[in-house]
Amino acid sequence: MATVAVSQVKLGDKIVQDVLTPLGSVLFHKGRVITPRELEVLQAFLVPTVVVGSSGDQKEEETAVDKTQEQAKAVPKSPFMDQYDRTVTLLKSVSNQVMSGMALSILEIRNQLEALLAHINDYKILTFSPNSVKNEDFLYHKSVMSAMSCYLLAQWNNFPKKDWVPAALAGLLHDIGNAKIDKAILNKPTKLTAEEAEEMKRHTLLGYQVLLKVTAITEGVKLAALQHHERVDGSGYPLGVGSSKIHPYAKLVAISDIFNAMTMKRLYRKATSPYLVLEQIQQDSFGKLEPAYVQTFIDKVTQFHNGTIVRLSDDRIGEIIFSDRNHLTRPWVSINGTIVNLSIERQLYIEEIMNKMDTSK
């Protein structure tokens, strides 16, 4: 191993000694392989040197990046990602069955969902992002993430344990009615016309009709498909009912659906910062979404350790050093020793969490 200047570090080099920030937090743990992302962070924190593995001969140096890429390809998927992909694939198959008028196999769906939920501790709502999502697969990924989010929300809001899996099932199947919507409208890459938007709204009624025939699921799961676009002030659709008539599962799905839809990259727009989405959800808790569920959601997903590395909306990189409970989406961030209080500097926000592998569990 050797201590080298950051300016001399090569892509593919492996860090063999923890790299610390000026405040003493771990910037990168040993074992991290240098990519352009790591170089950006090292330079942003003015790290002078790092300890990397020995370079070997010239030929090995020239092929370091290629070897790193080959190793990445050779690494098998984690059990969590394997089950995640299996669930997405199954949901696509289920959607095709619904489109063809076939009955749902709830036992198969539930078994796969439980296999995924066995790895729920590996799902970090604020930082998880599926790889290479095709536009036509967007709804399947959103539904699987909503299932996991609803499962956690049910726990966090002290729902009885018997409600946890049904709440997840509500998240998974809430958009099943889209299987009955014209694919040209469903996958349209531009803004829908007024007529097309009205047609899209029918997915709530269509989904309820599909699930109504299924005896092996609870009424709450069925109502979540019908009511996930209802709002507590009665301004939602399809029936415009108020809070007292909206099933708790549907209230959980509403939060999960909005968050996952906005934070996923689409063909026609980039992903929105999860922190901005949380702020939007917080605003919507005044009249639109269930306030208690929203506050619990924000409390839980923003629980990162101080030292988490983030990129701000002006592209500066820093580390979270303090989180104010009154402004959980706007912590204090240290950038080269300068403290940026995001609760005061409202024009700025956290665009991205950089050291995702080092965030709290």
**Do 139 and 93 belong to one domain?**
yes
**Do 170 and 277 belong to one domain?**
yes
Helix (H, G, I), strand (E, B) or coil at 4: strand
**Do 63 and 177 belong to one domain?**
no
Helix (H, G, I), strand (E, B) or coil at 2: strand
Q: What CATH code is carried by the domain that includes residue 256?
A: 1.10.3210.10
Give me Rg for the CA atoms of the chain.
23
**Do 12 and 51 belong to one domain?**
yes
**Do 284 and 348 belong to one domain?**
no
**Do 272 and 291 belong to one domain?**
yes
Phi, psi for 340 (deg, rounded to 5): -110, 115
Domain range spanning residue 130? 79-301
- 10 Å CB burial of residue 113 (0-12, 13-18, 19+) is buried
Torsion of CA 333, 353, 361, 140, to 10 degrees: 150
**Do 316 and 297 belong to one domain?**
no
Write out residues in the chain with pLDDT < 70, as ranges: 54-75, 266-269, 304-305, 355-361
Residues sharing a CB contact under 8 Å with residue 125, sequence separation 6 or more, in sequence order: 148, 149, 152, 259, 301
**Do 313 and 297 belong to one domain?**
no
Distance CA 186, CA 200 (A): 7
**Domain end point (choices 301, 325, 344):** 301
Distance CA 317, CA 303 (A): 19
In the chain, % helix, strand, coil (3-state, to 5) comes to 50, 10, 40
Distance CA 119, CA 204 (A): 29
**Domain end point (choices 47, 74, 101):** 74
Closest C-alpha to 119, from 157, 78, 90, 153? 78
Closest C-alpha to 261, from 269, 247, 227, 164? 269
Residue by residue, DSSP assigns 59-86 as HHHHTHHHHHHHHHHHSPPPHHHHHHHH
pLDDT value at residue 36 = 83
**Do 216 and 325 belong to one domain?**
no
**How many domains, in total, are found in the chain?**
3
CA of 218: how far to CAs of 22, 111, 228, in Å? 54, 16, 16
- pTM of structure: 0.80
**Do 89 and 189 belong to one domain?**
yes
CB burial string 283-294: b at 16+ within 10 A, e below: ebbeebbbeebb
- CB distance 52 to 9 below 8 Å: yes
Q: Which residue in this structure is represented by tokens 């727009």?
A: 269
pLDDT value at residue 356 = 55
**Do 252 and 134 belong to one domain?**
yes
22-79 pLDDT, tens digit each: 777 778 888 888 888 888 888 877 788 888 885 443 344 444 445 444 544 445 779 9
**Do 337 and 237 belong to one domain?**
no
Q: What CATH code is carried by the domain that includes residue 61?
A: 3.90.105.10
Closest C-alpha to 276, from 299, 291, 256, 298? 298
Residue by residue, DSSP assigns 295-336 as HHHHHHHT-PPTT-EEEETTS-EEEEEE--TT-TTS-EEEET
Residues sharing a CB contact under 8 Å with residue 43, sequence separation 6 or more, in sequence order: 6
Residues sharing a CB contact under 8 Å with residue 122, sequence separation 6 or more, in sequence order: 78, 79, 80
pLDDT value at residue 107 = 93
Distance CA 165, CA 320 (A): 34
Q: What count of Cα atoms within 13 Å lies in the side-chain half-sphere of residue 307?
A: 16
Distance CA 191, CA 173 (A): 25
**Domain end point (choices 277, 301, 325):** 301
